[in-house]
Amino acid sequence: MLFNIYLIVLFICFCIGLRSVYYYRNIPLQLKLFPWFIFLTFIIELIAKHSPIQQQIVLYNFFTAFEIVFLFYLLHGFLVTKWIRRALVYLIVIYPIAAAIYILLFHGIYQFHTITFLIGSVLLMFFSSYSLYELFFKKKITKPSEDPSFWSALGILFFYSGSVSIALTCEFLELFSKTEIRLLNTLLLYINLLYYSLFAIAFLCIPKLQKAQSAL
């Protein structure tokens, strides 16, 4: 039941995003691609739901690596500090290569890529925190809560802060009972629900951002 609610939230988020980014003009490319990333997530979750556990791990290995790269790209569009933006460009190139090498040659595709996921998570926590710092102290926006970058960065920071501890358990799942594994899955679903709800709020802020820009 909770998983079905999660899928509904994902699809609603996609619909809100699609309407927001294509109804208004001069939307940055990373925001135009954002709803399609949400839709891809929706498709991946649907496939995973009907796949055996080993296929789920393979699917999530490659998708989570792709997700981290996409979020690097999204944050790159929000940030203004040159050296931070340059670092993200390097990471967009280096991270997928490193993750692919680790998954295919060292860790194996049938085990979750915990190490590279944790590295990507820590990097996203840093860059999303820095994005929020810029929003409040460099850009000096009057109402940061009306800016899509605020809710996007907040969602990324929240999700990856919560996911780090859960990802660590992937290496020790054989030590957990079925009840404990179900509890972990439920916790992750709740984190996902809040994560994509914050993205939906980000999409809803796009009209406000457009009005603020047109008033300048």
Looking at the structure of the chain, the number of domains it has is 1
Do residues 17 and 35 make contact, with C-beta atoms less than 8 angstroms apart? yes
- Top pLDDT among 54 and 140 is at 54
Q: What would the DSSP string read from start to end of 153-166? A: HHHHHHHHHHHHHH
Is residue 24 predicted with pLDDT exceeding 90? no
- Helices of type H across the chain: 2-23, 29-49, 53-78, 82-101, 114-137, 148-168, 178-204, 206-214
CATH code, domain carrying 202: 1.20.1070
Largest separation between any pair of C-alpha atoms in the chain: 59
Q: CA–CA distance from 203 to each of 129, 155, 157, 159, 162 (Å)?
A: 20, 12, 17, 17, 22
d(CA 200, CA 75): 16
| Residue 206: DSSP 8-state | H
Tokens for 133, please give them: 């710092």
- Lowest-confidence region among 23-27, 35-39, 63-67: 23-27
- 26 burial via Cβ count (<10 Å: 0-12, 13-18, 19+): exposed
Calculate the CA 38 to chain-centre distance. 9
d(CA 26, CA 35): 16
Q: pLDDT at position 10, please?
A: 93
| Residue 216: DSSP 8-state | -
Is residue 81 predicted with pLDDT exceeding 50? yes
Q: pLDDT at position 215, please?
A: 45
Four-CA torsion 38, 22, 84, 72, nearest 10 degrees: 20
pLDDT, mean of residues 130-134: 92
pTM value? Answer: 0.90
Q: pLDDT at position 174, please?
A: 62
Q: Which of 10, 32, 6 is nearest to 19 (CA)?
A: 32
Structural domain harbouring 26? 2-214
